[in-house]
Each structure stands twice: as C-alpha cells, then as structure tokens.
C-alpha cells in the first residue's frame, strides 16, 4: 500500500476531547449496517500510527475486539448499554480513564455511534474529574468540539456526574473495583509523548486552551463554527 492507505484512515466523527489524551469516534469500521471490515482495518491502522495505546469500547457486545487483537491494539471492554445503571458503570470507567491518562496513555473511546449517550459520557467525565466546574459548561464544550447538540439522555449523565464516586468531594474510587472490565491480554508499556508535545501532568488542553486541572475551565474563544447538528439530524440555527 502507498500514500494515505498505508497510513490508514481516521474513524468517522473522530475528535479530541482532551488533546493528545482522550478522543471519541464512531465504532471503528462503521456503525451498524454500515460496518465494513476493510474500513475497520484501515481505521485501526490509523489509530496505531497516531500513537493510540488503547481503544475503550462501551459496546454491549464484543464486536471489534478480535480485530483489535489481530492488529496488536490494546483494548478495554466496559459495556454501557441503555439499560445499564450509570451509577454502577461510570465511576469505574471514569477512574480507569483517569489512571490510564495519568500513566501517559492515548485513548480512543467509542460506542456503536457517536450519539447522545457517548457525548454525555465524555462531558460527564469533564465534570466528574473537575476539569470543567459546571454541567452546562461541560455540555457546551463537548457540543462545540463535536458540532452537534446534546439531547436529554446525555444531559442526564452530565447532571449525575458530581454525585458519582470519585468526583470532587466524594469518596475516591480505585479503578477496577466496580463492574468487571475485560481487557486485551497484552497491556501496553507506559506511553511517553515526544518532548515537544508533552504537557505538565497538572495540565490538559480543552478547546485548544492549556489549563491546569485544578482551575476553572472557561471557554472564552469565540470563533465562527459550523451550525450545531441536533440529535434528529436537523441543523440548529446559528
């Protein structure tokens, strides 16, 4: 293979939530009936080439896990379906994300589609971790990053985030103590970013702004952006 095909292609709707640490996308290979094994292969190659150390699947099924193994991509499977209790799943998921990122890993988090539920999960993480101090701000940050509007289900997940174990002021939860998590047999070595791209451990990049974890994140940059996409696919007036 030559050119871009040798490097693979980015998963559909790929976007960074925390720059160089946590990203989201549709399920590699495509959503539901649009899934294609060849496309999945190319997208996993791209993720490897971009330095991702782990794919975190929230699917209720083990789909894609064998493909990750075939291409030596470390994975974690933390099922989070529509009938799962977020109070049982999210504290351990968030603790795992926190610990993996603290060790220098670069993560891709996905469900079947990039929809309201996944948006709520990542916005809830920003709120749970204290990176963003309030629910409305966390929702706004994720909506602007993904250029789509968050619906009621996602907003519900953000609203309960401050009350989950491990949130500021709540008992800390150690990763792996909640619901059982499946992981690939081979764990990656601690990831070390190139010196030119490393940030202090107390800092992350949200919306292009480097901020300290302990500080309030305020999105002050006003830029002209594409119209937000509502959950039903209609464009929201700017």
Report the residue count for the chain: 238
Residue pair 175/98 in contact by the 8 Å Cβ criterion: yes
Please write the tens of the pLDDT for every residue from 141-199. 999 999 999 999 999 999 999 999 999 878 776 655 555 577 776 666 554 443 333 33
Task: State the helix-helix crossing angle for 116-129 and 152-160, rounded to 10 degrees.
Answer: 20
Is it the case that residue 132 has pLDDT exceeding 90? yes
Report d(CA 119, CA 138) in Å as an integer: 10
Domains and CATH numbers, the chain: 4-212 (3.90.190.10)
Please write the tens of the pLDDT for every residue from 101-114. 999 999 999 999 99
Report d(CA 133, CA 218) in Å as an integer: 9
Is it the case that residue 34 has pLDDT exceeding 90? no
Structure confidence at residue 218 as a pLDDT band (50, 70, 90): very low
Helices (H), 50-194: 65-70, 86-102, 116-129, 135-146, 152-160
Share of the chain above pLDDT 90, in %: 63
Phi-psi region of 234 (alpha: psi -120 to 50; beta: other; left: phi over 0): beta
pTM over 0.85: no
Which of 15-41 are b and which e, b meaning 16 or more Cβ less than 10 Å from the residue's Cβ? ebbbbbbbbbbbbbbbbeeebeeebbb
Report d(CA 136, CA 123) in Å as an integer: 10
Is it the case that residue 209 has pLDDT exceeding 60? no
Is it the case that residue 237 has pLDDT exceeding 60? no
Structure confidence at residue 212 as a pLDDT band (50, 70, 90): very low
């Amino acid at each position: 293979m030559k050119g871009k095909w040798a490097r693979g292609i980015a998963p559909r709707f790929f976007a960074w939530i925390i720059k160089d640490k946590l990203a989201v996308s549709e399920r590699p290979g495509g959503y539901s009936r649009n899934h294609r094994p060849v496309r999945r292969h190319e997208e996993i190659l791209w993720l490897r080439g971009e330095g991702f150390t782990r794919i975190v699947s929230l699917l209720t099924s083990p789909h894609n896990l064998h493909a990750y193994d075939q291409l030596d991509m470390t994975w974690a499977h933390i099922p989070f379906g529509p009938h799962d209790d977020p109070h049982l799943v999210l504290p351990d998921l968030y603790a795992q994300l926190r610990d993996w990122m603290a060790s220098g890993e670069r993560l891709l988090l996905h469900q079947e589609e990039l929809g309201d539920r996944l948006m709520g999960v990542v916005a809830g993480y920003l709120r749970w971790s204290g990176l963003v101090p309030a629910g409305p701000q966390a929702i706004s940050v994720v909506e602007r990053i993904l250029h789509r509007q968050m619906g009621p289900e996602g907003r519900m997940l953000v609203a309960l985030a401050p009350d989950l174990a491990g949130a500021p002021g709540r008992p800390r939860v150690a990763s792996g103590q909640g619901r059982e998590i499946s992981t690939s047999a081979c764990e990656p070595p601690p990831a070390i970013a190139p010196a030119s791209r490393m940030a202090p451990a107390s800092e992350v990049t949200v919306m292009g702004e480097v901020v300290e974890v302990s500080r309030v994140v305020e999105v002050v940059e006003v830029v002209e952006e594409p119209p937000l996409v509502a959950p039903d696919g209609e464009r929201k007036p700017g």
